[in-house]
Amino acid sequence: MGLNGLLTSAKLRMPVSESAAVRLWGISFIVERETTQIAN
């Protein structure tokens, strides 16, 4: 199960506003991780 599958299953269990917040958190997490990889 990839990231899309994970997001889809999460969306099915959550209210829309909550899944939107999770999506924003996920994006910021990915950006931070990418930035850290580039910095190292």
Tens digits of per-residue pLDDT, 1-27?
576 776 676 666 656 677 788 888 889
Residue 7 has a pLDDT of 66
Give the structural domain span for 25.
3-39
Cα separation, 19 vs 30, whole angstroms? 16
Count Cα atoms within 13 angstroms, Cβ side, for 23: 13
- Number of domains within the chain: 1
Residue 18 has a pLDDT of 74
Residue type, 10: A
Global model pTM greater than 0.75: no
CA distances to 16, 22, 26, 29, 35 from 13, in Å: 9, 12, 17, 21, 31
Cα separation, 1 vs 7, whole angstroms? 10
